[in-house]
Each structure stands twice: as C-alpha cells, then as structure tokens.
Amino acid sequence: MMKETEDNESKRSSRRNFIKKVGAGVGAVSIAGIAGTSVIGGGRLKSGEKVKLLSPDGKLVEVDKDDIQPAKEAVAELKAEAKKGLPNRKFVMVIDLAKCKNARRCVEACQEGHLLPKDHEWMKIFLLQDDHDTSRYWFPRPCFHCDKPMCVSVCPVGATYKRDDGIVLIDNQRCIGCKFCMTGCPYSVRVFNWQDPEVKVPEGYEYDPELAVPQVEGTVGKCIFCADKLRKDELPRCVSACPMGVLYFGDILEDTVTNGEETVRFSKMMTDRAGYRYREDLGTLPSVFYLPPVQRLFPVERGLEDLPDSIRLRYKNAGPR
Amino acid sequence: MKTLISRTLILLSLLTIASFYSFSQESTKISPYVQLQYFKDNNDNSSLKTTLTYSKNRMEIPLEGMKIIFYSGNEKKNKIAEAVTDEKGVAVCDLKEKSDFSSDATGQWSFSTDFEGNDTIESGSAELSIRDVILKMDLAEVDSVKTITLNAEKIENGIEVPASGEMLTVYVPRMFSLLPIGDVTLDDSGNGSLEFPADLPGDNEGNINIIARFEEHPEFGNVEKTATLKWGVPSSYTVPKGHRALWTKVAPLWMIYTLSILLTGVWGHYLFALISLIRIRRNAKKDESSDLRNI
Amino acid sequence: MTEKKLLEDLTPEIESTGLKWYLTFAAFFIVFCVGIYGLIQQIDKGHIVTGMRDNVVWGLYIVNFIFFMGLSYAGALISGVLHLFHTGWRKSVIRLAELITVISLVIGPFFIFFCIGRLDRLPFLVMYPRIQSPITWDVIAISTDLIGCFMFLYLSFIEDFAILRDYRELNVPPWKHKLYKALSLGYTGNEKQKKILKDAKNVMAAMIIAIAIIVYSVLAWIFGVTLQPGWHSTIFGPYFVIAAVFSGTGLLIILMWIFRKIYHLEEYITKRHFVNVGVLLTIIAAFYGYFTFSDYLTKWYGSIKMDSLLIDKLFSDYYSLFIFANYVGILIPCIIIAFPKFRTIPNITIAAVIAVTALWVNRYIIVIPTLETPFLPIQDIRPAWIKYSPTWVEWSLTFAGISVYGMLFMLVSKIAPIISISEMKEKDQIEILK
C-alpha cells in the first residue's frame, strides 16, 4: 500500500533525524564525559550517567554515557542508509531548454544548500551552439546520474557508487582524490576541492553523503540530486528555485515529473515535446532528459543581461566548435 | 499674539513630529497576508486553515509562532478556537461541533480569522463564506473502461440540490506533487464522469490513490473524496542482487578469473626464484670449504 | 679478461669516494630539498599551488609518472630479451639496464602520490580495492613489477657480491665486507649453485618481459578506457609499450656515456656497445614513429568533431612541442645512427638525449591537450582554468625526481660495480671486447 510506504519512509526519516540529533548531542556529551572523568590506575571511572538511545533495530536502550562513541556510529548509519537509497524509486530530471534564460537561481540555490565555495558550480549553465546555422541555447547541466556511470567504474576505492534509486553519490571520507572519475566523466560534471573550502558547518552536524556538507579538501564533489531532500519527499533545491519552471523532477516508475507548479506524465512529455538525452551515442544512459528549445519564451540574449562581468565574459567565445 | 503664534508653531511641530514618529512606526511594521481556507476531507471532517505570511523580495515568508483566533458567524462572532502558526505559517482549527457552524438563511456558513498583531507586525484578518456540499465518488469499470463517476449536491435552504455546472479536478498523488488526471464538469443532475487512464503506474501491486476535489471553490472551499484501488499498472523495478558490471560492487566474473590466473602465474614464478635463493644458501652452507677462486 | 684485471678496474669506485662525488651528490641533494619544500607547500595549502584545475586534473605529475615508468623498460628489454637470446655484447651494460629499471620503478609511483589529493588515505588503495578500476590494475601490476625486477637484480648481483666478498685486496670498511658476505648468501660457485642461479635468472628474465608489457599496457589503459577524445584509442596499449622501450633504450645510452666517462670504463663499454644499442634505438624509433603516425592519421582523416578539435589544438597551441616530439625526436636519432659516418659515441649520445626529451614531451601532449578539449566546452574566464601551465611546485618536484635518480645511482655505484664482474669474466667476453 502506498500509504504504508509513506509511513515507513517518514519513520525512517524521523529515525535518521533522531540518530543525527541524539548522535551529535551524545557525541558532544560523551567527549565531555570522557574528558571529565578521571583516569585512575589505568582504568576509567564511569560517570554513572545513563543515556537513552535508539538501537539500529528500533529498541530503546539505556547505556552508560562513557561506553558509547555515537558520533562515529551516527555517520556509519547515515552512510549505510545513503548507500541503500530510497526503495522502489528511480529518479529522472527533465530540463526544458525552451524556457531557460540563465537566471542562475538554480546555481545559487545549489551553492547555498550545500555550502559550496562560490567557484564550485555543481549545476553549470553553458551557452551552446551546435553549428553556425543552428541557434544558440542555454544549457543547464547537473550531474546526469548515468545508468552506466564511467565515474563509478574507474574509482579505485569505491568512493563513488550508484545506488538502486539511480542516484550516484560520493563518500567524501573514502575519496583519495586521484581524480580518475573526473577524467572518466565525459560531461565535466565533477569539481575538485583544490583547497580547503573553509565553510562554516552548523552545530551538531554529522557527515552525510546525501547532503555532502562540508566539502572536504582533496576530494571530489558533484550534484547529488539533493538526496537529503528526496528523503523528505521534497524537490531538489535547483528545481524549487528555478523561476521559469525549467527543471522538472520525478520518479520514472511513477511516470510523473513536476517543476513545483506543473505536474505532468513523463512519458507524455517525452512524446509530445520530443525529449532526448545529451550525447546519447556515448552510451552512458543519463537520467537527465532535455526538451529541445522550440518556441522559446525568451531570446537567448536575455540570458546575458544583468550578469556580473565575471560570468558574462565566460560566454564571450560561445559558439560552434 | 506672539505667544499664540509661537504656541501654535510648537504644537504644529510637535504634531508633525508625532505624526512622523507614528508614520515611521507604521512604515517599519510588517504588513501580513492572511489567507483563510476551508477543508473537508474524505471522512467528512471539516477544518479551517489560516496561513500567515509576509512579502519580501517578491517571495512569501511564513510567520511562525503567531497566535491566530478562529471565529464563526457574520455579525455575531463566536470564537471557535485559538491556534499558533507553525514553521510554514499555518494554523489549523478542526470544526467538530455543530455549534462551530452558524449558518444564515440560505444555509451558508461564515468563518473569519483574526491575527492581533504585535510590535513588529500589523494585525490582519480574513473572512470566508462556505456552503456545504456532499460529494460522492464511484469507481467502476464500465465496458472495461475504468471510469470515475462523481456526484455533488449542495445544501440550499436545508435541501440537497444538485451542484450543476461546477468543476472538479481528479488527481493521483505522486511523490512530490499531485498528478492531474482530468477535470469533470457536473451536469444538471450533479453528475459527471471521467475516464481513468489504463496505463498509469501504481506501486508494486498496482495500488493507486485517486483524489477528486473541489479546489478553492468560491462557494464550497476545498472538498475532496479519496479512494485507493488496484487501478494502476504494477510497477516492478529491482536491480537484481549480485548484478555484476563495471560499476557495481561485485566485479564481473571474467575479470576476477583473469586477475587470479595472471597473479598466480606471476607470483608462482617469483616463489620459484625465492626458493632458488634458499636452495643456494642451503647448498653454500654444505659447501663451506670451497673457495670461489679455485674454480 | 682476467678477474684480477676486472677487479682492479672496477673496484676503485667502491673503495674510495672523491670530492667530485660529494659535490655532485650535494648538488642533487639541494635540488631534492627544493622539491621537498614544494611538496610541503602542496600538502599545506592544497593542490591549488599546482597548475591543475577542474579540467586539466592531471598535469606534470602524471606525465612524469608515465615517463619514469617508461624508463624502466631498459631493463626489461636489454637484460630480459637479450638474456633469453644469449646475445654476447650485452654483458657490459646489463647491470646498468637493470639498475635503471629498479630505480625508475621506485621513483615513478611517487609522482602518482603527489597527484593524489588525500595522501593520508593512500592505504585505501589496498584496503578497499575495486578490481574494475584501471588504477587498481596499475597498483597490482606496478608492485608485482617492482618486486620482480628487484629479485632479478638481486639474482644478478649474487655472483658479484661473492667475488667482492672473496677479493682479499678490497679496501673497504668492515661494514661493507659484512654486507657482501650477507648478501652473497654464501655462494661458492659450484656446479649445482650455478645451475640453480641460471635457471632462476632465466625464469625471472622471462617474467620480467611479460610483466613489463602488462604494466605498461595497464598504464596505457588508464587513458585508453576513458571516453576522452585523444585517449579513447585502441592503439594505446602497444603504443605506450613501444614508447617506453624507446625511452628506456635512450636513457641506457645516456647513462652508458656518463658512467663510461666518470669511471673510465672505455675498455668495457666500447663504441660497439653504443652502436648496438643505438641500432636498437633506431629500430624502436621507427616502430614508435609508425605507431604515432598511425594514431594521428586515423584521428585526422575521420570527421569526428572531437578528434578534429584535438588535432587543431595540437597544431596550433602545441605546434612546436608536437613537431619536436613526433618528428625531431624520431628522425634525428634515425639519421644519426643510420649513417655510419655519423655513428660516433658523442653523436649517438646526443641522439639519445633528444629521444628521451622528445618522449617526455610526447607524454605531455598526450595527457594535457585532451583534457583541455572536453566534450562540453570550457566556459570560464580564469586563465589557469582554461589552459594548463605548471607551477614552480610541479617543476621542482620533476627535477627532484631526476635528482633522486642521480643520487640513487651514485649510492648504488658505491656498493656494487656498475659493470657485472661475474658476467665479464666469462671467456667469451675477451673476444667481444677486442
């Protein structure tokens, strides 16, 4: 029953939150506890304080404060959940090139949500022109979450993985920074942390591959379809932020995609609007589809207005290659 | 004369300053947007919902933790309940007792909501007039075509009257939003029907939820009927366990075999060389008297 | 060639160390220290101090890695192949070749380490390996190769250590005597021991050749299996193998010249050796030229856009480098060695220097231009993100690698003779050296 799955999911997400909160809180407390209790003759005095915890199989247990290292367990639990993904889902995104005018709200929302330094763009907007006789168009490009991901195939330590719901994630604590995945990806999706991103992380936060905050120096980052939001049945940040409704997102198994305001059947959209994938011939089977810029709402030049120079000059040489 | 003029001037300036002061006070106060909605769900439970937001940079920001009071009635207002807005700026009030509904002559109910305001936010209120409607949804296969039949009757002067000409929308709830299936306009007898698509995916067993509702109707508010049945195409998608590919956790078998054979072959030869070294050492120990130069 | 004469000629280096040695070592060491300082800067501030950015993620470090691994081919070819073919003249130079192999294999992987963003997680390569990844294949192959070549080198040293152990007049400090005694395993040279050693060497020689080909092919496939234009080429495996043999042979000639000069080994490394290795160089240069031409012809002739973009970039931004690597680097060695008139020892050495440098440049123009022409165009305004230019950190570490090479050779020459005494004293050598 659909309702039951929803209940399970909400249970799981509340359990995640519980673990996050308790784990973080108890983590802080346990460090203080261990530091506070004195070490006499090699043994450790137990402070005697008990803490209530939720065990992985759903039981409430009482444990002495000093006996636990919950911070690590919280991260391990989050990572295990991140590897499993959401059951019976396969996520796709549809990008309507007819409506994009380089408003760049998607880029900004993504950077804000994942606390990225300003020069990291997980969602990137290109100005493409296939040939002299064809027209220019704005091309937003998130990670394609391919079904045959080259990046996953070449990772030597398994730091990046594809899970059953289609999302390709990165474990920033496993990544060794060899950058093979960056040369493997033909779409230039991944960015590298060449220096310390120096972002302020909120209190009590545990590392979660589904949110990927903070980015780690010497490791790789990329669009993760906001897997943390999907757990709460919310749309990815770029999709919610787009003022033109360019980005549609959904579950292909439900045959439905939405941009927050308009909800349509995915198969119908593909048939009616001739959806396609970028460079289908490379055979990576992307999960992102594009709708060709037919009857576009705005002239292309509108996307170059109101831009700071540092961004507008990027497109100076945009044209057929 | 002079004192009169000076006093008037002082009074005028004071008034101006006071008006500026109050004006500036008012201009720093946020002007909220109050929205009152009526809901009637599948089990005929009614509720009122107030949303309190304010406008900033062309975006609506919710106001959390504000006290909202719900009233029924038009001239004589009965307080129904009090609630506090949540993080989305929403306060809800369940309408359970018959006393919550005070109707006028034609059977219409009046509701209103009030926000007192505080030091930084102005007060605000909203009103609503609702007429009760009885909505029925019937799901059946007519000539092997899945059909949704809807019937709505509104209460006018205590009598049930067909709600002819009204429009409902039918949805199927999905993960992030509601997928619209179609609109139904009711005929003179208050009936309407809609064909349900035969190829819409449901869950693993083909279960699907259907919602038919009046959406923000000027007379009826939000009234819906829901149902769950096996009208969806069963969707099955599981990646087979133990699937072996370049990008999976377990490698293709041929890779494992090739690597094992190559490594055993090469390291086997290394072992042979190592054993040769050991044999040389053993032989040398036996042969300690010989000198290399004698050869 | 009596053993006595061999010992008199070859052991002085082990016995005494001149001022020149110390000065040269100090010079190398200073370069090495500058490199270490660069490395510390990189670890401290992050890879932002290098020239690598989001598109050109592999720069000088990977170029050096491939280059140094390629140099290790000298050992595989000269000692391995020529050993199995029982070629006589090889004996003067096999020790040098084997040393080149082992030292290159020790230094090469360090350049990979410099390129890795999180050095503290290096053990993950062996703790959580994924065998579908070409880098895992590389880790396995290189460690196998290193151990194999080390073993082969040691096998060839045993007899020499035994000779040095027994040489009464050897004037070395007691610790060196003890070292020779321990390392020679008590070898006395009787028939049984000789047979065991010979069999082991034959087996290892065959293994070395096989492993060397696998190692270099795996390295080539790190590039070949990706989709990038210029890398996704079926010829990459054999191409890299041939290029490696080419560079190894070139380096062998250079080191032959250097050691001949400083240790006065004119009697042992003669013009004949230079010419023979030079001819090898020419043959391999021809093969290398053929493979290069084949690769670029097929890219240029077809109309695939990404290939055309790459070729355009090679012939505009990288024009001089391309001509040097693929024309000058092949033709000059061929011309010098093909004509008997030009075949003098200095000329052949110059040809080798040109060949080795050209091969380094060849690696550069394989790795970097491809990364500068991705499928989706680079739309950026920062120059460092559009075109790769290596920084002082990368150059200093490159030269540090070369200086470590020199230092290791200098240290080894103090422990064992550069020319294999045991091989040279066999009767056939007298004929060859006349």
Q: Which residue type sits at A197?
A: P
Q: Out of B178, B237, B247, whose CB is closest to A162?
A: B247
Give the model confidence (pLDDT) of A162-201 as tens digits. Answer: 999 999 999 999 999 999 999 999 999 999 999 998 888 8
Same domain for B144 and B117:
no
CB contact under 8 A, B246 and C155: no
Of the candidate ranges A315-319, B105-109, C312-316, C356-360, the one whose mean pLDDT is the lowest: B105-109
CA distance C305 to chain A (A): 8
Give the model confidence (pLDDT) of A258-292 as tens digits. Answer: 999 999 999 999 999 999 999 999 999 999 999 99
For A216, which residue in chain C has the nearest alpha carbon?
A: C118
Residue C142 lies in a domain: yes
CB contact under 8 A, C188 and B291: yes
Mean pLDDT of chain A: 83
Same domain for A309 and A219:
yes
Decide if pLDDT at A2 tops 50: no
Cβ proximity of C210 and B269 under 8 Å: no
Q: Out of C117, C226, C371, whose CB is closest to A184?
A: C226
Of the candidate ranges B87-96, C4-13, C57-66, the one whose mean pLDDT is the lowest: C4-13
Residues of the domain holding B145: 133-229
Same domain for B154 and B96:
no
Looking at residue C431, its pLDDT comes to: 55
CB contact under 8 A, C193 and B284: yes
CB contact under 8 A, C53 and A194: yes
CA distance C201 to chain B (A): 8
Mean pLDDT of chain C: 89
Looking at residue A51, its pLDDT comes to: 66
Burial of residue B293 (number of CB atoms within 10 Å: 0-12, 13-18, 19+): exposed
Residues of the domain holding A21: 2-73
Decide if pLDDT at A47 tops 70: no
pTM: 0.85
Same domain for A131 and A201:
yes
Tell me, what's the ipTM?
0.90
Q: Which of A21, A48, A73 is the last residue of a domain?
A: A73
Cβ proximity of A163 and A83 under 8 Å: yes
CA distance A173 to chain C (A): 9
For B272, which residue in chain C has the nearest alpha carbon?
A: C200
CB contact under 8 A, C200 and B272: yes
Work out whether strand A288-291 and strand A91-96 pair parallel, antiparallel, or are unpaired. parallel
Residue C366 lies in a domain: yes
A117 and chain C: CB distance < 8 Å anywhere?
no
C 43-102 → A contacts, CB under 8 A: 45-48, 52-55, 57-58
Looking at residue B22, its pLDDT comes to: 55
Contacts of C162 in chain B (CB under 8 A): 292
Same domain for A46 and A137:
no
Of the candidate ranges A227-236, B88-97, B184-193, C280-289, the one whose mean pLDDT is the lowest: B88-97
Residue C427 lies in a domain: no
Q: Which of A15, A43, A73 is the last residue of a domain?
A: A73
A-interface mutation test, from B42, B57, B175, most A Cβ less than 10 A away: B175
Please state the length of chain C. 434
H helices present in chain A, as ranges: 2-36, 70-84, 105-113, 150-154, 180-184, 227-231, 237-241, 266-273, 309-312
- Position A129 confidence tier, pLDDT thresholds 50, 70, 90: very high
Looking at residue A28, its pLDDT comes to: 37
Number of H-type helices and E-type strands within chain B: 2, 16
Same domain for A131 and A278:
yes
- Position C351 confidence tier, pLDDT thresholds 50, 70, 90: very high
Residue B255 lies in a domain: no
- Which has more confidence, C89 or C374? C374
Residue B282 lies in a domain: no
Burial of residue C213 (number of CB atoms within 10 Å: 0-12, 13-18, 19+): middle
Mean predicted confidence (pLDDT) in C52-73: 93
Same domain for A186 and A39:
no
Decide if pLDDT at C269 tops 70: yes
Q: Which of B86, B114, B130 is the last residue of a domain?
A: B130
Looking at residue A18, its pLDDT comes to: 46
For C161, which residue in chain B has the nearest alpha carbon?
A: B292
Q: Which of B229, B252, B274 is the last residue of a domain?
A: B229
Same domain for B140 and B73:
no
Residue C429 lies in a domain: no
CB contact under 8 A, B290 and C188: yes
Decide if pLDDT at B226 tops 60: yes
C122 and chain A: CB distance < 8 Å anywhere?
yes
CA distance A294 to C193: 83
Looking at residue B10, its pLDDT comes to: 77
Strand ranges inside chain B, DSSP E: 32-40, 46-56, 59-62, 67-72, 78-84, 90-95, 108-115, 124-131, 133-142, 145-156, 159-162, 167-173, 178-185, 191-195, 208-217, 221-229
Please give the full DSSP string across C287-309, using - where no structure is assigned.
Answer: HHHHHHHHHHHHHHHS--HHHHH
Nearest to B222 by CA among B135, B103, B101, B139: B135
CB contact under 8 A, C140 and B259: yes
Residue A78 lies in a domain: no
Residues of the domain holding C11: 3-418
- Position C179 confidence tier, pLDDT thresholds 50, 70, 90: confident
Looking at residue A55, its pLDDT comes to: 60
Q: Out of C45, C309, C374, whose CB is closest to A195?
A: C45
CA distance C361 to chain A (A): 21
Same domain for B142 and B89:
no
Cβ proximity of B236 and B205 under 8 Å: no
Looking at residue B247, its pLDDT comes to: 92
Mean predicted confidence (pLDDT) in C85-101: 82
Q: Out of B173, B179, B237, whose CB is closest to A265?
A: B179
Residue C424 lies in a domain: no
Give the model confidence (pLDDT) of B114-160 as tens digits. Answer: 888 888 888 888 888 888 899 999 999 888 899 999 999 988 888 88
CA distance A138 to chain B (A): 25
Same domain for A189 and A52:
no
- Position A4 confidence tier, pLDDT thresholds 50, 70, 90: very low
Mean predicted confidence (pLDDT) in B25-50: 84
Q: Which of A22, A52, A73 is the last residue of a domain?
A: A73
CB contact under 8 A, B201 and A254: yes
Q: What is the CATH number of the domain that holds B210?
A: 2.60.40.730
Q: Out of C48, C134, C139, whose CB is closest to A194?
A: C48
Residue B1 lies in a domain: no
Same domain for A163 and A46:
no
A307 and chain C: CB distance < 8 Å anywhere?
no
**Range of A35-44, B151-160, C301-310 with top mean pLDDT:** C301-310
Residue C214 lies in a domain: yes
CA distance B209 to B228: 4
Same domain for B45 and B83:
yes
Same domain for A10 and A105:
no
A-interface mutation test, from C47, C50, C56, C231, most A Cβ less than 10 A away: C47
CA distance C15 to chain A (A): 45
Q: What is the CATH number of the domain that holds C406?
A: 1.20.1630.10
Contacts of C203 in chain B (CB under 8 A): 269, 272-273
Cβ proximity of C410 and C258 under 8 Å: no
Q: Out of A182, A183, A188, whose CB is closest to C376?
A: A188
Residue B281 lies in a domain: no
Decide if pLDDT at C430 tops 70: no
For A87, which residue in chain B has the nearest alpha carbon?
A: B238
**Range of B84-98, B242-256, C46-60 with top mean pLDDT:** C46-60
For C131, which residue in chain A has the nearest alpha carbon?
A: A156
Cβ proximity of C10 and C417 under 8 Å: yes
Burial of residue B282 (number of CB atoms within 10 Å: 0-12, 13-18, 19+): middle
Give the model confidence (pLDDT) of A93-109 as tens digits. Answer: 999 999 999 999 999 99
Q: What is the CATH number of the domain that holds B84?
A: 2.60.40.1940
Residue B247 lies in a domain: no
Q: How many domains would you assign to chain B?
A: 2
Burial of residue C48 (number of CB atoms within 10 Å: 0-12, 13-18, 19+): middle
C225 and chain B: CB distance < 8 Å anywhere?
no
CB contact under 8 A, B176 and A255: no
For B293, which residue in chain C has the nearest alpha carbon?
A: C166
Residue A179 lies in a domain: yes
Looking at residue C143, its pLDDT comes to: 93
Looking at residue C419, its pLDDT comes to: 81
For A219, which residue in chain C has the nearest alpha carbon?
A: C117
Nearest to A176 by CA among C133, C141, B263: C133
SS3 (DSSP) at A308: coil
Residue A286 lies in a domain: yes
Q: Which of B130, B160, B192 is the last residue of a domain?
A: B130
- Which has more confidence, A55 or B81? B81
- Position B2 confidence tier, pLDDT thresholds 50, 70, 90: confident
Of the candidate ranges B166-175, C126-135, C227-236, C265-274, the one whose mean pLDDT is the lowest: C265-274
CB contact under 8 A, A183 and C225: no
Task: Name subunits touching A (3+ CB pairs < 8 A).
Answer: B, C
Contacts of A126 in chain C (CB under 8 A): 376-377, 379
Same domain for A131 and A270:
yes
CB contact under 8 A, A162 and B249: no
Decide if pLDDT at B280 tops 90: no
Q: Out of C118, C371, C379, whose CB is closest to A176?
A: C118
Same domain for A113 and A58:
no
Decide if pLDDT at C93 tops 90: no
A-interface mutation test, from C54, C307, C312, most A Cβ less than 10 A away: C54
Looking at residue B93, its pLDDT comes to: 87
Contacts of C196 in chain B (CB under 8 A): 276, 279-280, 283
CA distance B275 to chain C (A): 9
Same domain for A206 and A161:
yes
CB contact under 8 A, B285 and C147: no
Q: What is the CATH number of the domain that holds A261?
A: 3.30.70.20
- Position A72 confidence tier, pLDDT thresholds 50, 70, 90: low
Residues of chain A whose C-beta is under 8 A from some C-beta in B?
A: 1-3, 5, 88-90, 148-149, 152-153, 158, 161-162, 164, 233-235, 249-251, 253-256, 258, 260, 263-265
CA distance B202 to C12: 87
Give the model confidence (pLDDT) of A226-265 as tens digits. Answer: 999 999 999 999 999 999 999 999 999 999 999 999 999 9
CB contact under 8 A, C210 and B284: no
Q: How many domains would you assign to chain A?
A: 2
Same domain for A95 and A64:
no
What does the buried/exposed string (b/e) look like for C407-421 if buried means 16 or more CB atoms within 10 Å of the residue's CB? bbbbebbbbbbbbbb
Looking at residue A29, its pLDDT comes to: 37
Same domain for B148 and B125:
no
